[in-house]
């Protein structure tokens, strides 16, 4: 016998392959009545005392469906995990929750019961939004932007400015990590997954011990920026230095002049280097513009130029 919440957030009882909804009527003897969800064809009930022991029950006219109950419970687990694990995506939570069922010996028996991520993602997003007490995910003006209390306590580092607001997020684990160690830092911005009215999400990554066989670079700081001007980048890096005590000794980024100048202004002794991927892409982009890629000798020269950053600095 298990208790889970249904899609509307009300408790449901799972017992012997049947599902029951709680009767809202209160009994004088501290018992609760649970009625079969298929009430149009079945009037079976279960009565529980205040210790959730079964006092009495009646027979069902409908068929039990333990497989449906199992999936119903897993869907409820997904909602719970969405609220508890704010660091995982909805897709990851759904896949990890239903993975044991898919790999079980009787997996084929559940094939028609297991929902896809698309089928349940809306209800999971609503559950997370309700848990965070977040009335809106998009705002028109920076002055209207509010951060949910849960995120404010655990992730928000600072909220700077009104008309050109900057938000910086960093977990407690990452804070202790970057303040007590020296890393090679990386910076990169994206514009595709940014909530309005912000312009870009700028992330700071650190190298946690990459080798020639594997790369171990992870994001530790997230900044929502109103634009990509040099002044905004300067504000952002100054806030990192003031609020998180971050001091770049080595910083690698793309070839955005505004970001590079801002790093030099805030961290004067920082050694800045460019990203090899962006370097190669920029060369090929320019080569296509001047139609150098259409010439065999031109393509050979481009390949050689692309290898120049890999040579030792003294060569």
Identify the band that residue 172 occupies on the pLDDT scale cut at 50, 70 and 90. confident
Mean pLDDT (whole number) for 144-169: 88
With b for 16 or more beta-carbon neighbours within 10 A and e for fewer, the 276-285 pattern comes to eeebbeebbe
| Sequence-separated (6 or more) residues with CB below 8 Å from residue 185 | 204, 205, 206, 246, 248, 250, 251, 252
In percent, how much of the chain has pLDDT > 90? Answer: 47
Cβ-based burial of 186 (10 A; exposed 0-12, middle 13-18, buried ≥19): buried
Identify the band that residue 315 occupies on the pLDDT scale cut at 50, 70 and 90. low
Query: Any idea which of 27-31, 50-54, 229-233 has the lowest mean pLDDT?
Result: 27-31
Q: What's the pLDDT tens digit per position in 97-136?
A: 999 998 888 888 888 899 999 999 999 998 888 888 887 7
- Residue 232: the pLDDT is 96
Longest dimension (CA), the chain: 92
Residue 313 has pLDDT above 80, yes or no: no
The rounded mean pLDDT for the chain is: 89
Most confident of 77-86, 197-206, 207-216: 197-206
- Residue 33: the pLDDT is 92
Preceding amide of 197 cis, omega within 30: yes
- Residue 64: the pLDDT is 92
Q: What's the pLDDT tens digit per position in 237-262?
A: 999 999 999 999 899 998 899 999 99
CA–CA separation, 177 and 144 (whole Å): 33
- Residue 210: the pLDDT is 80
- Residue 180: the pLDDT is 63
Mean pLDDT (whole number) for 14-37: 88
Q: What's the pLDDT tens digit per position in 177-207?
A: 787 667 889 999 999 888 889 999 999 999 8
CA–CA separation, 45 and 67 (whole Å): 20
- Residue 146: the pLDDT is 85
Identify the band that residue 70 occupies on the pLDDT scale cut at 50, 70 and 90. very high
Residue 166 has pLDDT above 80, yes or no: yes
Query: Is CATH 1.25.10 the classification given to domain 151-274?
Result: no
- Residue 236: the pLDDT is 97
> Angle 50-56-57 (CA atoms, 0-180°, nearest 5)?
120
Stated pTM of the model: 0.70
Residue 63 has pLDDT above 90, yes or no: yes
DSSP secondary structure string for all residues of 73-87? HHHHHHHHHHHH-TT
Residue 10 has pLDDT above 70, yes or no: yes
Q: Report which secondary-structure segment, H or E, holds 190.
A: strand 185-190
């Amino acid at each position: 016998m298990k208790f889970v919440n249904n899609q509307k957030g009300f408790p449901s009882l799972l017992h012997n392959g049947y599902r029951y909804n709680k009767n809202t009527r209160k009994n004088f003897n501290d018992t609760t009545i649970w009625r079969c969800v298929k009430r149009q064809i079945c009037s079976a009930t279960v009565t529980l005392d205040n210790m959730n022991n079964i006092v009495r029950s009646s027979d069902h006219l409908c068929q039990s469906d333990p497989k449906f109950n199992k999936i119903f419970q897993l869907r409820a687990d997904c909602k719970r995990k969405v609220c508890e694990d704010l660091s995982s995506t909805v897709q990851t939570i759904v896949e990890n929750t239903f993975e044991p069922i898919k790999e079980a010996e009787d997996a084929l028996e559940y094939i028609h019961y297991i929902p896809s991520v698309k089928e349940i993602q809306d209800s999971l997003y609503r559950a997370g939004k309700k848990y965070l007490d977040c009335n809106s995910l998009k705002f028109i003006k920076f002055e209207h932007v509010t951060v949910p209390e849960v995120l404010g306590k655990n992730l928000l580092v600072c909220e700077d400015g009104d008309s050109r607001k900057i938000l910086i997020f960093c977990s407690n684990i990452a804070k202790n990590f970057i303040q007590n160690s020296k890393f090679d830092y990386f910076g990169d911005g994206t514009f595709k997954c940014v909530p309005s009215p912000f312009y870009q999400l700028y992330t700071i990554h650190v190298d946690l011990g990459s080798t020639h066989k594997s790369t171990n670079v992870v994001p530790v700081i997230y900044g929502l920026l109103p634009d990509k001007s040099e002044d905004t980048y300067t504000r952002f890096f100054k806030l990192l230095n003031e609020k998180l005590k971050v001091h770049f000794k080595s910083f690698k980024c793309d070839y955005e002049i505004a970001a590079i100048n801002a790093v030099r202004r805030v961290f004067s002794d920082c050694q800045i280097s460019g990203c090899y991927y962006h370097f190669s892409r920029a060369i090929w982009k320019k080569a296509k513009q001047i139609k150098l890629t259409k010439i065999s000798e031109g393509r050979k020269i481009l390949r050689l130029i692309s290898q120049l950053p890999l040579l030792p600095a003294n060569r």
